Chains A and B, each alone.
Chain A
Amino acid sequence: MIESLCNWLAATPLSGAFQRWSWFVPTVQVIHIVCVGVVFTATLRIAVRLLAQRESLRGATELWRRLRPAVWTALSVLALTGVLLTITEPARELLNWVFRTKMLLVILLAALLGTLSRLEVRPAGAAGLGVLLLTLCLALITAGRWIAYV
């Protein structure tokens, strides 16, 4: 079923146009990488605060409140550029288990970031959350790079 979806998608005029334009994939990838940088650095800063603050989480939640608009904007651009890259080469992405793992990690990261605002009332496990956020980000970037090799 996914294979026929890939075949259909690859045969659409939009996918054909994206494949013909030699500049399209690298340009979209550049935007994708810059947004990865924005999300990763923001997550790194929050994770460091979560790891450093054992008693009060005010520093981490205040920083998250400031960074939230930029992070959600970057995540939205990442989703859009990801869709464009998938339309261009559907089989390379959708049939690849690394890509599927990456999507799962994206959902997990977004869900975790969504809970950050509520942390003020639940400070326990903050260090664990920091480690988890960092691990997720590193795994996401690793998966993103290894799609090309698996």
Chain B
Amino acid sequence: MFERLHALCQGIERLPFAQQIRESGWMFPTLETLHVIALAVVVGSILSVDVRLLGRGSHTAAFTVLARELLPWAWGGFVLASLAGLLMFASKAVTYAENGPFQAKLLLLLLAGCNMALFHGLGMRNLQQWDTRQPPLAAKLAGAFSILLWVGVVAAGRWIGFTT
């Protein structure tokens, strides 16, 4: 299984666009800049929602109003960050696939997705009751986990740069 994954990564690295990114002086930093801009939007908008879930920040504003305004930005940022991230990954696929912080980042992203799905399934029950009030414990826990996971994503991402 690991040999096949290794061979797949080697194949990705050999693709013409991957070679171009690796050999160009400006393409990788430009992709990195796009990745950071998109990540800033993702983290900033998700943290704003999470702080509201914790019952702090704009606690007078309805949670639904805040979520409706910010979640499209978060998803848009996530798509852009993923695209830029995939292109960066392709340029050094073998190195990244074997990198611990990169693997941790993927795991944290998966956990953040699970946390969001769990919140939509369980935490948003009786939303009308707390939309403009203090959220219940389940929603607060989802908000706290989300903050930890997304700060973890940023941390793992930063550590990639220091370990590759």
* Chain A residues near B (Cβ < 8 Å): 22, 25-27, 29-30, 33-34, 36-42, 44-45, 66, 70, 138, 141-142, 144-146, 148-149
Per-residue 0/1 for B123-164: is the Cβ within 8 Å of any A Cβ (1 yes, 0 no)?
A: 000000000000000000000000000010011001101100
Q: Are A34 and B58 in contact (CB under 8 A)?
A: no
Q: Are A41 and B40 in contact (CB under 8 A)?
A: yes
Q: Among B32, B43, B47, B73, point to the contact of A44 (Cβ < 8 A).
A: B73
Q: Are B33 and A30 in contact (CB under 8 A)?
A: no
Q: Among A22, A26, A146, point to the contact of B158 (Cβ < 8 A).
A: A26
* Chain B residues near A (Cβ < 8 Å): 29, 32-33, 36-37, 39-45, 47-48, 57-58, 61, 69-70, 73, 151, 154-155, 158-159, 161-162
| Shortest distance from the beta carbon of B74 to any chain A beta carbon, whole Å | 9
C-alpha gap A45/B45 in the complex (Å): 10
- Contact status of A41 and B44, CB under 8 A, knowing A26-B158, A70-B57: yes
When C-beta atoms are compared, the residue in chain B nearest to A148 turns out to be: B29
Q: Are B39 and A146 in contact (CB under 8 A)?
A: no
C-alpha gap A15/B32 in the complex (Å): 28
Q: Are A34 and B158 in contact (CB under 8 A)?
A: no
Residues of A within 8 A of B155 (CB): 26-27, 30
Residues of A within 8 A of B32 (CB): 145
C-alpha gap A22/B159 in the complex (Å): 11
- Contact status of A66 and B40, CB under 8 A, knowing A145-B29, A146-B33: no
